[in-house]
Amino acid sequence: MSEAIRKSTAETYENKEVVLDVKDLRVYYETPKGDVLAVDGIHFKLYEGETLGLVGESGCGKSTAAMGILQLITPPGRIVTGEVWLDGSNLLAMSEEELRQRRWTKLALIPQGAMNSLNPTMRISQQIRDVIETHEGKKRGDDIKQRILELFKMVGLPGRIYDMYPHELSGGMKQRVCIAMAIALDPMVIIADESTSALDVVVQRVVAQTMLRVKEALGVSMIMIGHDMGLMAQMVDRIAVMYAGHIVEIAGVEELFYKPGHPYSQLLIESVPSLTERKPLKITEGITHDPRNPPPGCIFQLRCPFVMDECRRVKPPIVEIRPHQQVACHLFKQQEDGSIIDVRDIATNP
């Protein structure tokens, strides 16, 4: 594992302020056969200066959760319930105008596909200028040019792209333009939605490092969405693991990689290829449930190698199994003295 892995979460986040607090967020998509429960009651906190990774397989609800936080869900999707607290206000209780004022200034997005988010008919400088002037009003030409060139410098872009159009830039440069746009108004929180997944591995690493450098320089908090566990290990402080619209584990990077608690997290970690060790690809057996009709009890029961009778009946509560490591799984039981035991240990050491 890389040197870049952070200190334990306990050391890093003790006494930090919560900047974003997501409570019971549910986003459903309407279909002719019933609602798809894309995000089904997630809770998490993001701390000051923290980078939180949101990981899970395709379709697990990571991007939908991000769009829900940003209030960018469009029909047939809808936010069913939840609270998203940022800077003392619940975003889900705000008018469109109140939200507009907070986008870019408090909460910014680095989108999944830079090409689709940049306007192909506008010069790069004009697109960044629009973001700034929409919130701050018209600026003098020289002032705004200087500010945009500063932003380019921060994300490692040359000044010559100022008058260029998106099609004249490489994929990595376009993604950096999106980063420049996201930091233009000095937000509190940036959500990076699979921002490097469309790039080749070398450019991916460079862009990811740019994000991290800019984030450190500005002291902003970040949610980084992705499925590349190796990249996540080097980029984030804590990881929230999502499965079928639920967060099944939240832990510091070290805790998650060395002592994953939830069986799904264990399988995800085992699927990370090793450079030094040849090992067969780990396959998760079982089938996924119908997302319109999840089973009662644990959401992972149809694929879990440790499934028990209780898992089919009772939804597991999220419990802290170690400091700063929370897991939703019946394998972990709280004892009368408050300690946590893993029932597999009892089975092997009765």
Give the shortest CB-260-to-ligand SF4 separation in angstroms. 12
Sign of CA dihedral 259, 266, 62, 272: positive
Q: Does 260 bind ligand SF4 (CB under 6 A)?
A: no
- Of 73 and 329, CB closest to ligand SF4: 329
Distances (CA, A) of 90 to 78, 84, 110, 135, 251: 17, 5, 22, 21, 25
Which of 248, 269, 272, 273 minimizes the C-alpha distance to 260? 269
- For residue 236, the 8-state DSSP code is -
57-116 positions binding ligand SF4, by CB under 6 A: none
- Of 269 and 307, CB closest to ligand SF4: 307
Q: Which of 298, 321, 324, 325 binds ligand SF4 (CB under 6 A)?
A: 298
Q: Which of 43, 197, 306, 342 binds ligand SF4 (CB under 6 A)?
A: 306
Q: What residues form DSSP beta bridges with 40?
A: 26
Among the listed ranges 32-40, 61-69, 163-171, 324-332, the one in contact with ligand SF4 (CB under 6 A) is 324-332
Distance between CA atoms of residues 93 and 276, nearest Å: 51
Host H or E run for residue 174: helix 171-183
Among the listed ranges 35-43, 134-142, 163-171, 303-311, the one in contact with ligand SF4 (CB under 6 A) is 303-311
- Of 203 and 318, CB closest to ligand SF4: 318
Distance between CA atoms of residues 252 and 254, nearest Å: 6
Give the shortest CB-302-to-ligand SF4 separation in angstroms. 8
Binding site for ligand SF4 (CB under 6 A): 262-263, 298, 300-301, 304, 306-308, 311, 316, 329-331
